[in-house]
Amino acid sequence: MNDIRTPRLLLRRWQEDDLLPLAEIHADPTVMQWIGDGRPRSLEETAEDIEAWEEEWDEEGFGLFAVELLGSGELAGAVGLYVADSPPELAGRIAIGWRLGRVYWGQGYASEAAHAALEFALQDRGIDQVVAAPRPGDSASANVLDKLGMKAEGSAQDPVHGHDLRLYSIDLTEFEG
Ligand SMILES: CC(C)(COP(=O)(O)OP(=O)(O)OC[C@H]1O[C@@H](n2cnc3c(N)ncnc32)[C@H](O)[C@@H]1OP(=O)(O)O)[C@@H](O)C(=O)NCCC(=O)NCCS
């Protein structure tokens, strides 16, 4: 995979020195409140996440990108693709997700990175459809999904944590590159 450049960001695979800045992002309860069980993740869990994302890149040819600010080289967070394992409605489908450190919110970085990740999925990799499953209270993600042109397609329940989920999808014909 070649790195992707947007006007302000570099999307690339993970490297060893991403561990500490990502662990700092994962230690913030406000960042993590809508992700998984809603708890912050430890340094060890963050290392496991990076390992799993890199495995997905090796096996599938896509994954979550490390998102770096062009210029300063700071790691802003993780945005990209993964194979969903739940809820059952999405199992095996390719989903998009995002998490940025709090200091990088409100600057359009998440939408810029997510748009580039969708373009990579739908245009470059020829993936038929990309889905997303935010929780109803996660209005920041709903805003990003709207800006990407992703369409609501119903709701579901997270079988592990019991949360309600909103389901979204987009295909190439709906994507504005
Ligand atoms: C979800 C998340 C990634 C969204 O980040 P975000 O910064 O709010 O999203 P955006 O990149 O779209 O930026 C939002 C705002 O930046 C502002 N902005 C400032 N400068 C901008 C610029 N140059 N270009 C575009 N927008 C800009 C805009 O006002 C925009 O808001 P608007 O769409 O209402 O106009 C972030 O809140 C996050 O990491 N949350 C925690 C993790 C999480 O919950 N993940 C999802 C779990 S499934």
What pLDDT does residue 82 have?
97
Q: Which range of residues forms the domain containing residue 90?
A: 4-174
Burial readout 119-140 (b: 16 or more C-beta within 10 A, e: otherwise): bbbbeeeebeebbbbbbeebee
Work out the pLDDT band at 56, boundaries 50, 70, 90: very high
pLDDT in tens, 58-114: 999 999 999 999 999 999 999 999 999 999 999 999 999 999 999 999 999 999 999
Look up the CATH number of the domain holding residue 36. Answer: 3.40.630.30
Distance 9 CA to ligand 1 centre (A): 14
Which parts of the chain are beta strand (E)? 4-5, 9-12, 64-69, 75-83, 94-100, 129-132, 151-157, 164-171
Distance 20 CA to ligand 1 centre (A): 23
Distance 71 CA to ligand 1 centre (A): 20
Q: 4 pairs with which residues across the strands? A: 11
How far, in Å, CA of 78 to CA of 7, rounded? 17
Work out the pLDDT band at 177, boundaries 50, 70, 90: confident
Please give the tally of structural domains in the chain. 1
- Does ligand 1 have an atom closer than 6 angstroms to the CB of 143? yes
Reading the block at residue 159, the tokens are 């079988």
Work out the pLDDT band at 55, boundaries 50, 70, 90: very high
pLDDT above 90: residue 2:
no
- Does ligand 1 have an atom closer than 6 angstroms to the CB of 108? yes
pLDDT higher for 177 or 39?
39
- Nearest-CA residue for ligand 1 atom 29 is 106
